[in-house]
Chain A
Amino acid sequence: MLTLARRAALSQRGTSSWISSIATSSAIHMSRLLSTLAILEQRDGQLSQGSLNAFTAAKKLGGTVHGFVAGANVSAAAEEAAKVDGIDRIIKVENRIYEKGLPEIFAPLLVENIKKGSYTHVIGGHTAFGKNLLPRVAALLDCQQVSDVTAIEDEKTFVRPIYAGNAIATVESSDSIKVITIRGTAFAPATPDSCSAEIVEGVDPKADTSAEWVSEDLAKSDRPDLATASKVVSGGRGLKSKEEFDKVMLPLANALGAAVGASRAAVDSGYADNSLQVGQTGKVVAPQLYMAVGISGAIQHLAGMKDSKVIAAINKDADAPIFQVADVGLVGDLFEKVPELTQKVKSS
């Protein structure tokens, strides 16, 4: 196993520093060479496909990769995750107290399982779930988490955007356990294959807390999920009202098979739901096509979409900053141009 892990790591990196670090490491160090626990998300027993990108990031590190899933009824999710190529083990804890991912009990659960497995790395998504949970885990382990990682250079060097993506920092962690959250759009989700990792029961410390889950209200949508959609059409203040937003943006989204996003201005004015906000404080997306309609392009908005493959913008202000990043821009009245575009996309 160790040889395999080492070979995998070498093929990933192939650097001499790695070899020299092996030569100098003690036997104790060797025994805990690179093993990663990837934290998977599930809802109602369904594995969140988006969380499988933790596997992709984990495999970049080299070494053994285990997955972790906990909740009320997670056997099917564990089996699905076990099919992913290159995964050695899935740890599952079946207990309904973990279903809603309350960090007060989920963090101690993870800490116990991380300690038991002597993992060197713990990876989760920089999602609402991961952001809520992993810093608590890191603090309990006395580790300084590295958040929203967009690239892994080696087992201790990570790249992450700071200042709303206006600067990119490369940081080296000296912690014995590296807890990191990854940006979903930077690592493609692993796809379940025909492999079968072993599935084992994890330890369940059943921690106690006064916190309880009360309810949730999730926006229902038949459209693709904003965070993972290949096309996103996004509306801003220029839409003027919720009625106009729905009338102009939704048909365009339907015609393109795109997810709908919004700028903070549109969300604050009540044109669109909070969960659709793209930007530093909302979702970070990187689709094939991002179409910004009536969005000026403030830096906080750009932080959420500037890694999109192709950016198109429709805005009546020819000097709007969005045109500085757009691959293709159209200056014009969106109430005219967007319906025309919708028609032409539909009929083509």
Chain B
Amino acid sequence: MSALRILVPIKRVIDYAVKPRVNKAQTAVETAGVKHSMNPFDELSVEESVRIREKKRAPGGVEDICAISAGPAKAQDILRTAMAMGADRGIHVEVKEGDDLEPLTVAKLLKKAAEEQKSNLVILGKQSIDDDAAQTGQMLAGLLGWPQATQASKVEFGEGDSVTVTKEVDGGVETIRARLPMVITTDLRLNEPRYASLPNIMKAKKKKLEKKTLQDFGLENEKRLKVLKVTEPAPREGGGKVEDVDGLISKLKELGAL
């Protein structure tokens, strides 16, 4: 089996525990001064890559784990986190603050990066928790012409570059098999990401972090979707509390739900 050269795309997003607020102009969600972190699904991708190496799960071994992120200067923080978790190096594609890329552009960027880095496995999160698009991995697989396994909850490597992936689907799980090179997107059940230890955080500072721009990949930030407005969802008012089960039943009947 070929040695794995894993590319792990990661994204800096508003921390999952923060309740996002729409800005006054209703053009976007307020991001200034808001805590950001690595997209939770991307932590799973980094963790899985590191575990494949640590547990020697791939017969051909793991030659390289490269984390890549396109975003503002602060995206370097999450690249350092990925390296502290065990990624060997990072690539930062600098994009102006607020100049977000659409999934198709990211997929085009990652296609070029995967080719340049001679990657044979790309592990992405199944979706980012900001845009909730759930597209980049599939688009990348399509552009590369590689097989894809989305919403993975288990990844196993076999002989002859074969990879068997258990995927979460509506109503249960599905197992597919394909050969490297391929694209996998992670689901929550895949693993539990580790916390980076202080010594590893220190070590990560010495790992290589390459800086690039979109132009280095021959791309521009082309926008196909124009955001006309962003609004708060219609507020939902709690209807108050009842004293007992009988009160619950009669209220539900009154609301026509029973």
Taking Cβ atoms with an 8 Å cutoff, the residues of A that contact B are 100, 102-104, 107, 127-129, 131-140, 142-148, 157, 160-175, 209-219, 225, 227, 231, 256, 264, 273-275, 280-281, 283, 288-289, 299-300, 306, 309-312, 314, 318, 323-332, 337, 340-341, 344-345, 348
Query: Using Cβ atoms and an 8 Å threshold, which residues of chain A touch B29?
Result: 162-163, 166-167
Within 8 A of A (CB), among B215-256: 224-233, 236, 238-249, 251-252, 255-256
Instruction: Answer yes or no: B257 CB below 8 A from chain A CBs.
Output: yes
Pick from A132, A167, A219: contact of B148, CB below 8 A.
A132
0/1 interface trace, chain B 138-174, chain A, CB 8 Å (1 if under): 1111110001101101000000000010011111111
Pick from A163, A171, A345: contact of B249, CB below 8 A.
A345
The reply to whether A274 and B189 form a contact with Cβ atoms under 8 Å apart is yes
Pick from B135, B137, B168: contact of A138, CB below 8 A.
B135
Q: Beyond A328-B240, A330-B247, list 4 extra A-B contacts (CB 8 Å).
A: A212-B176, A215-B175, A218-B173, A281-B126
The reply to whether A264 and B188 form a contact with Cβ atoms under 8 Å apart is yes
Instruction: Answer yes or no: B20 CB below 8 A from chain A CBs.
Output: yes
Residue of B with least CB distance to A264? B188
Taking Cβ atoms with an 8 Å cutoff, the residues of B that contact A are 14, 16, 19-20, 22, 29, 102-104, 107, 126-127, 129-143, 147-148, 150-151, 153, 164, 167-179, 187-189, 224-233, 236, 238-249, 251-252, 255-258
Query: Using Cβ atoms and an 8 Å threshold, which residues of chain B touch A162?
Result: 29, 130-132, 230
User: In the docked arrangement, what's the CA distance between A327 and B150, Å?
Assistant: 37
The reply to whether B245 and A328 form a contact with Cβ atoms under 8 Å apart is no
User: In the docked arrangement, what's the CA distance between A209 and B147, Å?
Assistant: 7
User: In the docked arrangement, what's the CA distance between A151 and B101, Å?
Assistant: 23
Q: Give the A-B pair count, Cβ closer than 8 A.
A: 252
Q: Is the interface of A mostly helix, strand, loop or mixed?
A: mixed
Query: Using Cβ atoms and an 8 Å threshold, which residues of chain B touch A173?
Result: 224-225
Pick from A100, A139, A281, A344: contact of B107, CB below 8 A.
A139
Query: Using Cβ atoms and an 8 Å threshold, which residues of chain A touch B141?
Result: 103-104, 136
Query: Using Cβ atoms and an 8 Å threshold, which residues of chain A touch B167?
Result: 128
Query: Using Cβ atoms and an 8 Å threshold, which residues of chain B touch A172?
Result: 225-226, 228
The reply to whether B139 and A345 form a contact with Cβ atoms under 8 Å apart is no
The reply to whether A214 and B142 form a contact with Cβ atoms under 8 Å apart is no
